[in-house]
Amino acid sequence: MPESSERGALTEGVYYILLSLQKPLHGYGIIQFVKEMSNHRVVFGPGTLYGAINTMLARGWIDCSDVMGANRYCELQTLIEIKKRLSKRKNRGIAFIGNGNYHYVTYLLLSEIQSPFTLVLFDHHTDMMASPSTSLISCGSWVLHAIKRLPMLKKVVMIGVREDLGKAIIANQHILETVGISMSKTSQLVNYKFK
């Protein structure tokens, strides 16, 4: 068996199974979703679907579907639980499947980096909003959270930021400077450097 298969490579079938999990579906719903999304190229029967899911878990895929209080806004206690689960992963490679409601998991992965680094973020949003509460991190606040708490994060380069969001940050640059962030903007590239 090739090494990538042993580690649980992201095959087309696995991709569609994971994509289907964005909303609650039972087995038959997943089978139908996969068939439709793949234009009938990938067809699972009940036995093969559950076998594929069990194989993913056996190969080290991490299931966080039972974690409550994590959609868009994540309570810090919940973030600790997600970090515990991530610490048990067998491989360092990771793929996020689905919408951006869980971008803050990137913060956990960045916190593992032990040498100075630059984050290059491809997104239409800056994800630098202030969190509505000190006990929450969100898909819209994780970058600011990382800037404030990760000493190895030295620079953030954002590519593709919506123009209106970039302008809002420029208008509020004095706020960013209070936490040691200076900023330059060129077209759709926003470049943050920390003092």
Could you say which DSSP state residue 122 is in? E
Region for 171 from its dihedrals, namely left if φ exceeds 0, alpha if ψ lies in -120 to 50, beta otherwise: alpha
Question: What are the tokens at 87?
Answer: 């610490």
| SS3 of the chain: helix, strand, coil, percent, to 5 | 40, 15, 45
Residue by residue, DSSP assigns 27-74 as: HHHHHHHHHHHTTTSS---HHHHHHHHHHHHHTT----TT--S-SSEE
pLDDT in tens, 125-152: 888 888 888 899 988 889 888 988 898 9
pLDDT in tens, 33-86: 999 999 999 998 878 888 888 887 787 777 777 888 888 889 989 999 999 988
Q: What is the pLDDT of residue 15?
A: 83
Q: What is the pTM of this model?
A: 0.68
Neighbouring-strand partners of residue 136: 75
